Chains A and B, each alone.
Chain A
Amino acid sequence: MSALLTVAHGIPALLAEGKDNPSADFSDTPLWITVIKALFIFVYLLVSTLIVIWFERRVIGRMQQRPGPNRNGPFGLLQSLADGMKSMLKEDVRPKAADALVFTIAPLITATMCFIAFAIMPMGGEVNLFGHRTPLQLTDTPVAVLLVLAIAGVGIYGIVLAGWSSGSTYPLLGGLRASAQMISYEIAMGLSLVAVFLYSGSMSTSQIIGAQKNLWFIVPAFFSFFVYVITMTGETNRLPFDLAEGEGEIVGGYFTEYSGMRFAMFFLGEYINMFTVAALATTMFLGGPLAPPGIAAINDGMFNEGWWGLLWFTIKLWLFMFMFVWLRGSLPRVRYDQFMKFGWKFLIPATLVWVVLVAFFRGAQNGWLGEGGVNFFGRTFPVASLALVGVVAVGALIVGWWWDSRAAAKEAAAADAPQSSIDPFAGGHPVPPLPGQTLAEPTRTAAAIRSEAVTDKEAIRG
């Protein structure tokens, strides 16, 4: 199956050209337009945050068959605004044992870092803004995607420092949990993005979008998408991975001691982080501001141009938001050790193998593993790719067979194992068998007791 997926014809062989610089053209963008764009991003994110809080509560309400917020404004739309105002006016409490400086800095780090990563997200095509042609993107660099990861790395400081500076145990545990979780999941996240870099030949977002003109990377890099979506949930501390603020265990996690505006900053940061990771997923796998396949073909790509991009970008972003809410509405929290085990023992090695595979496919596409192709449905597939798919498929079959036979052997062993038998009436009262135990053949006396017991019960009932 993956042969179909990996042969992406439209991907330009950027590697061969050795060009990794951004393709977005900022030559006609004076400083004041950049400032306007920055302001726009700021407002876009703030408004989106206000809406998404309302959206989340309403959707979860729906899922749980209750109305959700519906008092402030039409459909309760102004609820988040009211909550925000309340936070601002609330008394700001700082524990006596807190480290004053760090306690103040921590929420600021979280709230400022979350905005920065959005600077490199392409939100639309080139538009005419006050007489200048400029891309709907604040900036782009050859290492734009790495920049997002780096900013996320700095953002963790906010959480860790909040946990430490509160001078209290639960926040410390929450902070440590959060940072351990984010660092471990950032590894798998970075690895999953490597496949995209391999396909696009660049780490600049505008180049990545350009490389997806014909085929979104969700198809050739499907496994990366799968891993990315899991890690992005872990990275943003959202259910089912919100262990850093597991109420049942450690109260509120790192922000237990925070209140008022400082707490609101964490809240804001968390939601904007959701938008950031979703925007990155959109850019990396769903073609960012590109129109969906059918629509893109209309009128010679009319819907791919200019301001239309913003619409597609926003729609894709909100699809991810809905997914976040859906997950929260349907899944329970996982256990911490299982979560870590999953990250380190499955996601990271599996993604590593995947990246190596993708590298081979790219090599086959570039003809490094031998020339020659096979035609299917008008597309040419390199022989090497097909051979690789064959090898992978056979490997998967063998592993699957081995796994199955091992599981079967285990089951058989478990079935054969001499099960310890218990006498259910050893203590005078009937005791049900535990897993792995069987009931001993009842002795005569036991039977007598049982019949007695039954009659007793029935007597009571009767």
Chain B
Amino acid sequence: MSNAPGTGEAVLFWILGPLAVLGSLGLIFAKKAVHAALGMALTMIILGIFYIAQDAHFLGVIQVFVYTGAVMMLFLFVLMLVGVDSSDGLLETLKGQRLATAVLVLGLGGLLTAALGSVTYPEPAGVKSINEETGNVSAMAELIFGRYVWVFEVTSALLITAALGAMVLAHRERLGKGRNQRDWSKRRVLRGEYVAGLPAPGVYARHNAVDTPALLPDGTPTPLSVSRVLTARDQVTTPERYVEAEDRIAGQIEEDSSR
């Protein structure tokens, strides 16, 4: 039985292969973290499809289910939550690091390509016969619960450690009572700052939104009145044009009345 890939598999490979490479390049070069994560998700889904095309059904589906569906999704989840007002510093802290990295990466890549390219691979064994005789899932189960049962069980220690570590490093127990509204207002008065609370965002005849800062008596906008998140996202509008429009109207009214 020959295990050489058929036409269908070849077509699949040559369409999806470049896409997978594009996805992985996207992971490295994308500017936004979410785009990078998407590139990685794309690559992982395509890998799953490749596994299925090579008759490793269970592996392929689990690749999509666990890595793309769960792990990558949680990753994306965190990215979206933290990504609002953080930005990557592109400053090179170690001098000449990029050049050295590039040289080393190309060197390692070249060496590995040369070594791996020189190999003459034997006919692949494939899993087709196992799929037909034992069944893909059963054969997998026999390996996991047979030969590799120790590794499989030891992995649970890894998961417990991870859970314990997450609790140790990220779980903040509440110590004492949280501040309620009354405590906050007392604190404001005691400290003597923002006794009446932070200023509300600007309200104008033509505009009334959380992204417009309020004006102080002297006419300058106060950044305290808009949400920190909006400022970080660069979504704060300047109230100047409303002020100008207001002035214009006031001027017109004055003109009209003086006429």
Contacts of A149 in B (CB 8 A): 65, 69
8 Å CB interface, B31-73 against A: 32, 34-35, 38, 41, 45, 48, 52, 57-58, 61-62, 64-65, 68-70, 73
The CA of A163 and the CA of B77, in the complex, are separated in Å by: 11
The CA of A102 and the CA of B32, in the complex, are separated in Å by: 12
Chain B proximity of A196: nearest CB distance (Å): 14
> Chain A interface: which size bin?
35 or more
A141 x B57 contact (CB < 8 A): yes
A154 x B45 contact (CB < 8 A): yes
B76 part of interface (Cβ distance < 8 Å): yes
B138 x A20 contact (CB < 8 A): yes
Contacts of A186 in B (CB 8 A): 69-70
B81 part of interface (Cβ distance < 8 Å): yes
A153 x B57 contact (CB < 8 A): no
Contacts of B134 in A (CB 8 A): 18
Contacts of B65 in A (CB 8 A): 146, 149-150, 153
The CA of A99 and the CA of B31, in the complex, are separated in Å by: 13
Contacts of B69 in A (CB 8 A): 149-150, 152-154, 156, 186
A147 x B61 contact (CB < 8 A): yes
9 further interface pairs, Cβ-Cβ under 8 Å (given A18-B135, A153-B64, A157-B73) = A20-B138, A99-B34, A146-B65, A149-B65, A153-B65, A153-B70, A161-B34, A176-B80, A183-B74
* Cβ-closest chain A residue relative to B227: A169
The 5 closest A-B pairs by CB, nearest first: A153-B69, A150-B65, A20-B135, A150-B64, A146-B61
* Cβ-closest chain B residue relative to A145: B61
The CA of A183 and the CA of B81, in the complex, are separated in Å by: 16
Chain B proximity of A456: nearest CB distance (Å): 35
8 Å CB interface, A170-228 against B: 172, 175-176, 179-180, 183, 186, 202-203
* Cβ-closest chain A residue relative to B60: A143
Contacts of A18 in B (CB 8 A): 134-135, 138
A143 x B61 contact (CB < 8 A): yes
* Cβ-closest chain B residue relative to A149: B65
8 Å CB interface, A121-162 against B: 141-143, 146-147, 149-154, 156-157, 160-161
Contacts of B77 in A (CB 8 A): 160, 176, 179-180
Chain B proximity of A262: nearest CB distance (Å): 18
Residue among B34, B57, B137 with max Cβ neighbours from chain A (10 Å)? B137
Binding site for B on A (CB under 8 A): 18-21, 97, 99, 101-102, 141-143, 146-147, 149-154, 156-157, 160-161, 163-164, 167, 169, 172, 175-176, 179-180, 183, 186, 202-203
A183 x B70 contact (CB < 8 A): yes
B155 part of interface (Cβ distance < 8 Å): no
Chain B proximity of A22: nearest CB distance (Å): 10
B131 part of interface (Cβ distance < 8 Å): yes
Contacts of A154 in B (CB 8 A): 45, 64, 68-69
Contacts of A147 in B (CB 8 A): 61
Contacts of B58 in A (CB 8 A): 142-143, 146
Contacts of A183 in B (CB 8 A): 70, 73-74
